[in-house]
Amino acid sequence: MKEYGYIKVAAIVPELKVANTEYNTKEIIKQIKNASKKDIDIVLFPELSITGYTCSDLFLQDLLLDNALKCLKLICKETKSLDIISIVGSPIRAENQIFNCAIVIQKGKILGIVPKTYIPNYSEFYEKRWFSSSSNKIKSYIEIDKEKIPFTTNIIFEDKDNKAISFAIEICEDLWSNFPPSNNHTLNGASIIFNLSSSNEIVGKYEYRKNLVKMQSAKTISAYIYASSGVNESTTDLLFSGHAMIAENGTILKENKRFDFNSNMIYEDIDVLKIMNNRYKDTSYMGVVEDKEYIRVNIDIKDNKKDIVRKYSPYPFVPQNDLKRKERCEEIFNIQASALAKRIKHTGMNKCVIGVSGGLDSTLAFLVIVEAFKKLGITNKNIIAITMPGFGTTSRTYNNAMNLIKSYNATLKEVNIKEACLVHLKDIDHDVNNHDITYENTQARERTQILMDIANKEKALVIGTGDLSELALGWCTYNGDHMSMYAVNTSIPKTLVKYLVEYVALNENNELRKNTILDILDTPISPELLPPDTNGKIAQLTENSVGPYVLHDFFLYHFLRYGASPKKIYFIAKKTFKNYSEEEILKWLKFFIKRFFTQQFKRSCIPDGVKVGTISLSPRGDLRMPSDSDYLDWLNDINN
């Protein structure tokens, strides 16, 4: 899985007996072997895991320190045949001092030792009584059994084949400090940070600690793996819960259940390529880098895994949690409406023109105008909502459009476009029975012309309805529905549109409005440019032509948000969408790539529209792309 940038990491909170190094070491070895069977690449244990964190003045006993060193050597011996990298905690004597250290082991060898920098000595902590800070060390190497081992905070462990797969270490209080060592570690190339910790529990500390890990992983654009001492530590004055977390760029991927007396493990695949792509995009990331000398230690991550455990949401634009989704919809709807309100204020026009088809996109745009007018104190009568029946309009969408407009007391206009389109088709010598792209686009452009001309007449703004997914595929008529004076849905993907519309419906007290919107939600997606079937129902289904929007939104998100290769997108899509065959996913991914590249010319001249999420296709904002770039290499990537 190294090809796709995946590294499987684990955080383990082992069962422990305070000061019983033999017992602790046996459990550590057992858990390392357990992790190895799960194909885990790197495993992390808590701070001072060989001795226990709460040994207090026993850390000044030679017997404990001697036993800890013996046990460290035993771990090396017992894991000599394993490829897994283990990070354990132990006190280490060096240069007339005792240091609280993280020890990195692979194939029976100690690759490096990282001493703790910030030694807490306040409230319930008295570590300075026993341990020295890394800033007090004299040399950057120490000897154990005549082996010269790097001994410094400034170590980056790098995969010998792929330098992007790299990690560094900090210990407990280091994270809580004003300037954590991981700031420099990540600026100097570490994509993963491991933290061996002993964080006790008091009221409110759990959430604070969790947010700290999330924010540090976000600020440093890294993965952050955290393992803290468990409930088997001494409870003379404190309780430790054994909190373990795996975070990536501000998101907690995995978290354990605290207060477990038994050994427990969490593990997840870290997407290193995703992390690095975020860093490449963020040109402020490398703004200030301290000149620090780093020791680079080679590690060997074996590429023998055939699968990953990581799961991806099939709806990356839509929060799966009901409460978060409601909050997100409220925020987005507010952004859309406020942006439109600002444009209305700036132009001095207090009227908007919109084409309402009875479909999802125009419904959302209409509701956004209603909210913008509410913010500005403008009557809904100044919303000039136009329904324009054409060759494919069905009674269901027509009635829903009429009911929606009337229920909000907007100004309703109906302009049937059939006659004008027939005249136009005759003028350009096009057979009316030839239902090709010319037949379809004639209707789209006729509707746009009507909207623009009425806007001129009324001194109003034409509000666009097209969404992000349509722009990504170029599924819009150039200078037809492609054009408007302000586009409120321009960065809303199709999979999110329905939830925004549903959000408004569920907060609506008017029964006619609510029922109308809910029926629109239940209507198949269609431009209705081709005649209905014999039963008067929609015959032209968009997804029959362009493929499932759930797939395209998934492709778009990973392609643009993280710069994922088509091959990687195909790999994770196969894991995510079990209801589609591999052949279907491949077919629509190739379709997406071709359309995304060939339709850029439409995106190069889209109207203004507000960005609401992490992805926008505006040529003035997020996407600078040639209109004539070739897509062959991207297609070939899937086939290789």
Q: Collapsing DSSP states into helix, strand and coil, what is residue 63?
A: helix
Kindly state the tokens that stand for 484: 């408007």
Q: Is 351 a catalytic residue?
A: no
8 A C-beta contact, residue 40 and residue 310: no
Q: Is 329 a catalytic residue?
A: no
Kindly state the tokens that stand for 416: 């049937």
Pairing type for strands 85-94 and 42-44 reads parallel
Q: Which of 47, 201, 371, 528 is catalytic?
A: 47
Pairing type for strands 6-13 and 264-271 reads antiparallel
Q: Which helix (H) or strand (E) holds 91?
A: strand 85-94
Q: Which residue has the tokens 């942006």?
A: 339
8 A C-beta contact, residue 467 and residue 588: no
Q: Which helix (H) or strand (E) holds 338?
A: helix 322-347
Q: Collapsing DSSP states into helix, strand and coil, what is residue 435?
A: coil
Interatomic CA distance for residues 127 and 117, integer angstroms: 12
Q: Is 172 a catalytic residue?
A: yes
- How many whole angstroms from its chain centre is CA 545? 29
Residue 83's Cβ-count burial label (10 Å; 0-12, 13-18, 19+) is middle
Q: Which of 8, 27, 55, 116 is catalytic?
A: 116
Kindly state the tokens that stand for 393: 């309009």
- How many whole angstroms from its chain centre is CA 294? 31
At 211, give phi and psi (nearest 5°): -65, -35
Q: Which of 101, 172, 329, 421 is catalytic?
A: 172
Interatomic CA distance for residues 249 and 247, integer angstroms: 7
Interatomic CA distance for residues 289 and 426, integer angstroms: 68
Best CA proximity match to 398, nearest among 364, 355, 347:
355
Amino acid at 504: V
Interatomic CA distance for residues 91 and 315, integer angstroms: 47
Amino acid at 411: T
Q: Which residue has the tokens 């029926």?
A: 519
Residues assigned a catalytic role = 47, 116, 172
